Amino acid sequence: MRTTPLGGTGVRVTELSFGAAGIGNLYRPVTAEAAFAAVDAAWDAGIRTFDTAPHYGLGLSERRLGTALCERPRDTYTVSTKVGRLLEPNPRGGAGDDRAHGFAVSDTHRRVWDFSADGVLRSLEASLDRLGLDRVDVALLHDPDDHAEQALTEAYPALERLRDEGVVKAIGIGTNHCALPARFLRETDIDVVLLAGRYTLLEQEGLAEVLPEAAARGRSVIIGGVFNSGLLTDPRPGATYDYAPAPRSVLDRALRLKAIAARHGVPLRAAALHFPFGHRAVASVLSGARSAEEVRDTVDRLRHPVPAALWDELHAEGLLAPDTPVPAATPSKEAP
């Protein structure tokens, strides 16, 4: 599978990255066996980039990912995790669950926002312990939108020092909003932005500032949420968009996208996976999975050829703005 460097760092990411929120019991329980099988399937498909966070399942995602990768040569894969939420023991001792935050796990811990320098160090130390690794390759500020000033003045300098010391190789920000990552690109020396849901076949808000800023400064963008919370997986009444039922106008737009893709013999999911690669700043697309079957299906969709005529029709129908960059016509992907 093709790899691309993140900014000017030596960190390389595969074109498809494995998002590990699902194996942290996102929305519903996943057995350990299924979680490990998902990582194995990703590895077999040539995926060598794995993203996790303490937030995902109150550390369950990190623990499972670390176990799944522990016997593989450390220099052969890239791992990113995030800082900004510390996990502290819950005084209630796990009497309830964490479904209010989206994860089907016992609430043995609680999340505490902390973008201080000390919080960054504590978070990474705890993540390494859960992962069972001696290092992570990429450290990202996780959803700092409501803590912008502390993230800029305390957390970012701490990450920059860790990069200078070689503790991590690349640093950046991960969010599903555009304003703050654009500011980080202008005001700091981050290497990468993980942008979720804001540069997709359905909407291209990231094209206003984030992607042009990254390209101009030689930084990289990883695109997550390419299916817009599921809507571009199967557009239908009740499908979710931004983690809530899709408004009718948004659903209608997704159905138009699906119909045009179908006319060109392309599954909508395939078009959604290919679309971000039209922009030169995009290094990888991050897609979550909770089973080996989901991984294999996603890889198959990425290998599905997408003709230039599909992008032409989307432009002509006004579903993509005239200046929206699109990928070149793609032949079938070769097996790794």
Q: Which two tokens stand for residue 197?
A: 């849901």
Mapped onto helix, strand or coil, the DSSP state of residue 135 is coil
User: Which amino acids are annotated catalytic?
Assistant: 56
d(CA 310, CA 124): 44
Question: Residue 117 is which amino acid?
Answer: A
How far apart CA 156 and CA 190 sit, in angstroms, is 8
Measured between alpha carbons, how far is 32 from 314 in angstroms, rounded to an integer?
41
Rounded Cα distance, 299 and 183, in Å: 33
Helices of type H across 21-164: 32-44, 60-69, 117-131, 148-150, 156-164
What are the C-alpha distances in Å from 72 to residues 38, 69, 99, 136, 161? 15, 5, 32, 14, 28
Nearest to 62 by CA among 114, 113, 136: 136
Instruction: Report in angstroms the alpha-carbon separations of 4 from 207, 269, 304, 332.
Output: 20, 22, 20, 19
Name 306's bridge partners: 330
How far apart CA 98 and CA 258 sit, in angstroms, is 35
